[in-house]
């Protein structure tokens, strides 16, 4: 018969060393998550810079909330809205939206451009659009709904709309085409939709 062999107990310093290693491993794994949660909750160490040029619409508003009638986004869209008549600023934004669309090169099939107006277009401009901008989408615009989101005194606006119809970014008539194109390219690059 073999007598039961009693194993010697581990020295105390070995046990504390093992516990310290466990605590360090947990701190390395859980620490960054706790820090990130605290940064989000209390808004510290959050960078003030941004890498987009327009006004970010982060409230989940859709085309219908903007007052666009008949606008269904199946792909990314550059939408020009004119709360009054389509004046010179509106016409420049329509041209800019088309140029940005063309500037997408390989990604051109993932986006489109459109115009939403609350009043009928002038006959000669309407004919020009049909002739020179055949792919331009055309929608109606309800002024009452539009005025709840945007002050009509700001004039025509250019919007980037995602394929689900969510408003993403807004630009006024003074925005540069290169900045808008950069923003749209960035969105297309990181997007898995459209």
For the chain, give the percent of residues with pLDDT over 90. 56
> 66 and 35 in one domain?
no
* Same structural domain, 39 and 74: no
Closest CA to 54 of 192, 193, 177: 177
Q: In terms of domains, do 40 and 134 share one?
A: no
Number of independent structural domains in the chain: 2
Residues 166 and 72 sit within 8 Å (Cβ to Cβ): no
Residues in CB range of 62: below 8 A, 6 or more apart: 164, 165, 166, 167
pLDDT at residue 151, rounded to an integer = 87
Asked if 179 and 91 sit in the same domain, the reply is yes
Q: Are residues 113 and 41 in the same domain?
A: no
Same structural domain, 30 and 125:
no
Q: Is residue 7 domain-resident? A: no
Domain at 177, CATH number = 3.40.30.10
Residues 42 and 68 in one domain: no
Model confidence at 94, pLDDT cuts 50, 70, 90, reads very high
pLDDT digits (tens, 9 = 90+) for 174-187: 889 999 999 999 99
Which residues fall within 8 angstroms of residue 136, CB to CB, at 6 or more apart?
94, 98, 113, 114, 115, 129
pLDDT surpassing 90 at residue 74: no
pLDDT for position 178:
93
Task: Check whether 31 has a pLDDT greater than 80.
Answer: yes
pLDDT, tens digit, 9 for 90 and up, residues 96-115: 999 999 999 999 999 999 99
Residue 115 lies in a domain: yes
- Shared-domain flag, residues 186 and 167: yes
> Token pair of 104, please?
């997408």
The residue range of the domain holding 18 is 12-46
Q: Which pLDDT does position 183 carry in this prediction? A: 92
41 plus 80 within the same structural domain: no
- pTM for the structure as a whole: 0.73
Q: What is the pLDDT of residue 5?
A: 65
Residue 145 in contact with residue 68, Cβ under 8 Å?
no
- For residue 81, the surrounding DSSP H or E stretch is strand 76-82
Is 37 a residue whose pLDDT tops 70? yes
Dig out the tokens for 180 from the structure: 């808008």
Tell me if 95 is assigned to some domain: yes
The helices-and-strands tally (H runs, E runs) of the chain is: 6, 7
- Per-residue pLDDT reduced to its tens digit, 9-26: 656 777 888 889 999 999
Average pLDDT, the chain: 88
CA atoms within 13 A on the CB side of 162: 19
Rounding to the nearest 10 degrees, give the CA dihedral for residues 19, 25, 31, 34. Answer: -80
Alpha carbons 170 and 3: distance in angstroms, whole number: 84
- 58's enclosing H/E stretch is none
pLDDT at 2: 58
Q: Is residue 6 part of a domain?
A: no
Q: Are residues 41 and 70 both part of a single domain?
A: no
89 within a domain of the structure (yes/no): yes
- Is residue 5 one of the residues assigned to a domain? no
Q: Are residues 156 and 103 in the same domain?
A: yes
**Residue 107 shares a structural domain with residue 128:** yes
């Amino acid at each position: 018969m073999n007598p039961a062999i009693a194993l010697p107990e581990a020295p105390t310093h070995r046990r504390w060393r093992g516990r310290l290693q466990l605590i360090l491993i947990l701190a390395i794994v859980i620490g960054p998550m706790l820090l990130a949660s605290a940064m989000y909750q209390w808004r510290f160490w959050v960078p003030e810079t941004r890498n987009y040029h327009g006004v970010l619409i982060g409230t989940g508003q859709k085309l219908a909330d903007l007052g666009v009638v008949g606008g269904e986004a199946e792909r990314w869209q550059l939408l020009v809205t004119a709360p009054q008549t389509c004046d010179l600023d509106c016409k420049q934004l329509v041209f800019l939206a088309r140029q940005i669309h063309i500037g997408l090169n390989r990604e051109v099939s993932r986006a489109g451009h459109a115009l939403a107006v609350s009043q009928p277009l002038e006959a000669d401009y309407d004919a020009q659009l049909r002739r020179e901008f055949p792919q331009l989408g055309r929608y109606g615009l309800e002024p009452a709904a539009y005025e709840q989101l945007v002050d009509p005194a700001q004039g025509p606006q250019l919007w980037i709309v995602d394929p689900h119809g969510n408003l993403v970014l807004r630009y006024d008539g003074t925005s540069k085409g290169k900045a808008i194109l950069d923003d749209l390219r960035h969105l297309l690059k990181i997007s898995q939709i459209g």
